């Protein structure tokens, strides 16, 4: 069974602080990796893709360690608007499946972040 594990939190962090999220995934054949953000009662929205070389988008930095099957997200100078649930997501595209296609996205349960003023 393919699994993505995250600390559910909640993480209560003062505004301006740096916060780090981690997740692990079980399928070593996973192809691509993402962090999504989900606000209460809304749909998940793509925050950033995650590459082995690491990637940065403004205050957000994501890192992938394929050997350890570990994904991280760092948020610097946190804002009140960063309060949300952060979902670690793995794409298990399987080129060798009978249908030669997708096994869908596997989501972690999400980490709830609360930024306090």
Partner 1 sequence: DAGVTQSPTHLIKTRGQQVTLRCSPISGHKSVSWYQQVLGQGPQFIFQYYEKEERGRGNFPDRFSARQFPNYSSELNVNALLLGDSALYLCASTSTDFLYGYTFGSGTRLTVV
Q: Least separation, in Å, of the C-beta of 44 and partner 1?
A: 5
Of 53 and 117, nearer to partner 1 (C-beta) is: 53
The span from the CA of 83 to the CA of 113, in Å, is 5
Q: Least separation, in Å, of the C-beta of 31 and partner 1?
A: 6
Q: 47-60 burial string, b = 16+ CB within 10 Å, else e? A: bbebeeeeeeeeeb
Of 89 and 115, nearer to partner 1 (C-beta) is: 89
Q: Least separation, in Å, of the C-beta of 2 and partner 1?
A: 9
Nearest residue to 32 via CA among 114, 95, 92, 83:
92
Per CB under 8 A, residues contacting partner 1 are 4, 31-32, 34, 42-46, 49, 87, 91, 93-94, 97, 99-110
């Amino acid at each position: 069974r393919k699994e993505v594990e995250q600390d559910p939190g909640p993480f209560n962090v003062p505004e301006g602080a740096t916060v780090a999220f981690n997740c692990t995934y079980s399928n070593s054949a996973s192809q691509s990796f993402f962090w999504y953000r989900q606000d209460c009662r809304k749909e998940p929205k793509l925050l950033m893709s995650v590459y082995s070389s690491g990637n940065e988008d403004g205050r957000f930095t994501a890192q992938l360690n394929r050997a350890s099957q570990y994904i991280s997200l760092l948020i610097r100078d946190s804002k009140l608007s960063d309060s949300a649930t952060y979902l670690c997501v793995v794409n298990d595209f399987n080129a060798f499946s009978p249908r030669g296609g997708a096994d869908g996205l596997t989501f972690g349960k999400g980490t709830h972040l609360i930024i306090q003023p």
